[in-house]
């Protein structure tokens, strides 16, 4: 990215005055995310009987959820599909055979600081260990982010590796969540990647816009617009309730820039394991210019066994979706197998 463009972007993303009341400050909203299970239960008018288990599970994997996402949940409903994705439960502490701390083989795929070589032609960067929300089924809930991310101190090593890996033409920004990085840090990241001629595409994997759409601010739009790369955003929407008017409004500038928007859902017991729900999700995604892409079989990460859907039921759901939807609205049902160079179709 030419230095003149970087100056233009920096001028755009570093405001000379505080944001107006019309522009939500995503960093402030994120800083005020709920981390106390007692506060969450109180807001949703739920019984304190769930508190002890939540506190126990938080010792292993803390609660974190923005107020925006909580406001989408139904009160007095412990089975709300959004709540079930983020509420810590004592079930997470049970050791279940076949569930491990690294189900997708991330640690064995490391080739340099913060870089995983998992897919042909693509390099996956662990850009940060931070997330806007802690999903209880997260396959990296045990990942040692403190040692394995491309942070500022290790970034030069990351760039040196990517420069020599001429077989790579696409960078996957993962984490954590890459949108937890400030626009200033993202400008630096894209500027460094711009120096590597064989990199053509940037793919962002992010749940941030789902749980706090205000992250899609003008500064982020500007840096994407002025980048030479083709950009793809893979969102993580699991339920039609997550597609709001706010999210659709915030996605519009990306659509106008011809950024490809894809959805990658996870099949979750008691949340979206019905063809009617997934059909509504696909329709709602398409209405928001998001193409249904993958429906993931649950990664067998320790602490998430209670979300698992049987293969028999999953195949039945996919067959029902094929009968209910146009082909382009049916996501591919896939599984990630450690050591394989691509998702495995099921």
Overall average pLDDT of the 323-333 stretch: 97
Q: What is the pLDDT of residue 113?
A: 79
Residue pLDDT, tens place only, 213-239: 999 999 999 999 999 999 999 999 999
Better-scored residue on pLDDT, 147 or 296: 296
Q: Say whether pTM exceeds 0.75.
A: yes
231 closest CA partner among 214, 207, 254: 254
pLDDT category, 310, cuts 50, 70, 90? very high
pLDDT category, 93, cuts 50, 70, 90? very high
pLDDT greater than 60 at residue 6: no
Q: Which residues contact 54 (CB under 8 A, 6 or more apart)?
A: 37, 40, 41, 63, 87, 88, 89, 90
Going edge to edge, which strands form the sheet with 344-345? 110-112, 115-119, 122-126, 170-174, 201-206, 230-235, 260-266, 291-296, 332-335, 344-345
Q: What is the pLDDT of residue 341?
A: 72
Q: Which residue has the tokens 């994120």?
A: 30
Is residue 243 within 8 Å of 286, Cβ to Cβ?
no
Least confidently predicted of 13-27, 83-97, 118-132, 319-333: 13-27
Encode 59-97: b = buried (16+ Cβ within 10 Å), e = exposed: eebebbbbebbbebbeeeeeebbbbbbbbbbeebeeeee
Residue pLDDT, tens place only, 24-66: 899 999 999 999 999 999 999 999 999 999 999 999 999 999 9
Residue pLDDT, tens place only, 279-307: 999 999 999 999 999 999 999 999 999 99
pLDDT category, 149, cuts 50, 70, 90? low
pLDDT greater than 50 at residue 3: no
Overall average pLDDT of the 197-218 stretch: 98
Better-scored residue on pLDDT, 114 or 228: 228
Q: Is 99-345 a CATH 2.30.130.10 domain?
A: no
What mean pLDDT value characterizes the chain?
91
275-287 helix and 311-324 helix, angle to the nearest 10 degrees = 50
Domain regions of the chain by residue span: 33-93, 99-345
Query: Using CA of residue 42, residue 131, residue 101, residue 239, what is the dihedral sign?
Result: positive
Q: What is the pLDDT of residue 9?
A: 41
């Amino acid at each position: 990215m030419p230095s003149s463009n970087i100056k233009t972007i920096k001028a755009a993303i570093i405001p000379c005055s505080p944001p107006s009341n019309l522009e939500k400050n995503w960093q402030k909203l994120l800083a005020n995310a709920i981390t106390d299970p007692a506060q969450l239960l109180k807001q949703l008018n739920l019984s304190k009987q769930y508190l002890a288990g939540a506190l126990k599970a938080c010792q292993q994997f803390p609660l974190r959820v923005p107020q925006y996402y909580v406001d989408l949940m139904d009160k007095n409903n412990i089975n709300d599909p959004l709540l079930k994705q983020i509420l810590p439960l004592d079930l997470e502490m049970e050791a279940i055979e076949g569930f491990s701390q690294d189900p997708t083989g991330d640690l064995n795929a490391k080739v340099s600081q913060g870089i995983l070589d998992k897919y042909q032609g693509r390099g996956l960067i662990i850009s940060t260990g931070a997330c806007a929300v802690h999903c209880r089924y997260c396959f990296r809930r045990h990942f040692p982010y403190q040692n394995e991310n491309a942070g500022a101190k290790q970034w030069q090593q990351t760039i040196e590796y990517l420069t020599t890996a001429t077989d790579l033409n696409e960078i996957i920004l993962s984490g954590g969540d890459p949108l937890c990085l400030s626009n200033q840090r993202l400008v630096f990241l894209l500027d460094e990647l711009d120096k590597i001629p064989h990199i053509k595409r940037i793919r962002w994997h992010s749940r941030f816009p789902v749980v706090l759409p205000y992250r899609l601010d003008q500064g982020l739009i500007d840096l994407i617009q002025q980048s030479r790369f083709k950009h793809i955003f893979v969102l993580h929407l699991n339920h039609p309730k997550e597609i709001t008017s706010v999210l659709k409004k915030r996605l519009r500038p990306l659509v106008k820039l011809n950024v490809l928007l894809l959805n990658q859902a996870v099949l979750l017991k008691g949340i979206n394991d019905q063809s009617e729900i997934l059909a509504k999700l696909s329709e709602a995604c398409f209405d928001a210019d998001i193409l249904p892409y993958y429906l993931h079989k649950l990664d067998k990460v320790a602490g998430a066994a209670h979300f698992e859907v049987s293969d028999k039921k999953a195949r039945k759901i996919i067959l029902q979706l094929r009968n209910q939807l146009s082909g382009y609205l049916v996501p591919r049902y896939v599984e990630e197998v450690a050591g394989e160079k691509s998702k495995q179709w099921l």
